[in-house]
Amino acid sequence: MAAITADRPIRRRRRGIRRVLFDVRKEWSAYAMLAPSLILLGIFTLFAVAFSLYLSFHRWDILNPAKPYVGLDNYRELRHDAYFRQAVKNTAYFTLGTVPLSMAFGLAIALLLNQKIHGRAIFRTLFYLPVVTPLVVSGLIWKWVLDGDFGLLNYYIGKIGISPQLWLSNPSLAMPSVIAMSVWANVGFTMLVYLAGLQAIPQEYYEAASVDGAGKWRQFRHVTLPLLAPSSFFICVYLIISSFQVFDQIFVMTNGGPLRATTTVVYYIWQAGFQQFTMGYASAMAYGLFAIIFVFTIVQVVLYNRRTDA
């Protein structure tokens, strides 16, 4: 049995296509088991992505039967669309606010929980609860907490002498408020990944560091942080991708307002595609977003690999 498997690649090379066809027939049941997944993948992902590209080269208004080919017009329009530019800026703002804060708080909580304390499981559960809660629900609760007239937050900051704010209807406060809510919703996730990372660090490293006279801070700086790099990388990539696509909480809390201050790219794609029904233009925007996410992911992977190689 093992011998046959071992020399199969060699024989395949020798006999070429006929050998492949033979293998395909012999292993037909593998294709049968894969078929449902492959069909769904083909239709709803591969075809959809290609179709989207096709759409982006057309003026595809769902209410208009004429759907002419317009070349790169949609992309050209993107470059001059002030709303799109603002949406990109807002998305970047949201991401730059949400990702570092989620990581910092998650790491802080994970460090606290990684000590010998009682009730660790309970704390872990409490901090993780927002992650499993539907974003629609979280968004609604926060919308009320942040309400200018009846909100909890204004009441409590009033107690310590800060004047009440219109958190969600002041254009310069709306995005920070949405970021705060999103950090709250993310922290449990980053905490759990960091906890797993921390528990994989051997205790001996800390003992060795302290023998060498490293204090708590230097242990953290030179043992914990470097060894958490894989966790940080995973969290960072995951959170950036999901932050670029933020939608639910925007829909529920601000509807993209006030004055488009919280209109992110995906929210704008939704508006263009499903409120104005200009699906060609929405597709062009989606491809713009795709390109941005792609570049970011590549840059991160390259930076990470260079750092770990060094």
Partner 1 sequence: MSVAPMQAEQAARPAAKKRRRRRPDDLGLPTTVLTYSLLIVGSIIFMAPFAWMVVASFKHLDDIFSYPPTWIPHNPTLSNYRDFWDSQNVARWFFNSAFVTLTIVAAQTVLSAMAAYCFAKRTFPFRDGLFLIGLGTMAIPTAVLLVPQYLVLKHIPMFGGNDVLGNGGHGWLDSYWGLIVPNGFNMFSIFMMRQYMRSIPDELIDAAKVDGAGHFRIFAKVVVPLSKPVIAVTAIFAFNFYWNNFQTPLIIISSPDHYTVPLGLALFVASAAHRTSWDLVMAGSVLATLPVLIAFLVFQRYIVRGIALSGLK
Assess contact for 51 and 67: CB atoms under 8 A: no
Shortest reach from residue 170's CB to partner 1, in Å: 19
- Taking CB under 8 A as the criterion, the residue among 95, 103, 265, 271 binding partner 1 is 265
How far apart are alpha carbons 108 and 127 in whole angstroms?
A: 12
Rounded least distance, CB 287 to partner 1, Å: 7
Q: Under rule CB under 8 A, which residues in 147-206 are in contact with partner 1?
A: 150, 152, 155, 184, 187, 189, 192-193, 196-197, 199-200, 203
Q: Which of 11, 38, 72, 104 binds partner 1 (CB under 8 A)?
A: 38
Q: Which of 49, 208, 259, 295 binds partner 1 (CB under 8 A)?
A: 49
The answer to whether residues 127 and 188 touch, using CB atoms and an 8 Å cutoff, is yes
Site for partner 1 in 212-241 (CB under 8 A): 230-231, 234-235, 241
Is 269 a binder of partner 1 (CB under 8 A)? Answer: yes
Note whether 256 binds partner 1 by CB under 8 A. no
243 lies in the site for partner 1, by CB under 8 A: no
Give the count of alpha carbons within 13 A of 292, CB side only: 20
**Segment lying near partner 1 (by CB under 8 A), choices 64-72, 92-100, 110-118, 163-171:** 110-118
Asked whether the bond before 258 is cis by omega within 30 degrees of 0, the reply is yes
Confirm or reject binding of residue 305 to partner 1 (CB under 8 A): no
Query: What is d(CA 292, CA 103) in angstroms, rounded to the nearest whole number?
Result: 22
Site for partner 1 in 70-99 (CB under 8 A): none
Collapsed DSSP state (helix, strand, coil) of residue 79: helix
Q: By CB under 8 A, how many residues form the interface with partner 1?
A: 94
Phi (first) and psi of residue 294, to 5 degrees:
-60, -50
Distances (CA, A) of 158 to 148, 152, 155, 253: 12, 10, 5, 22
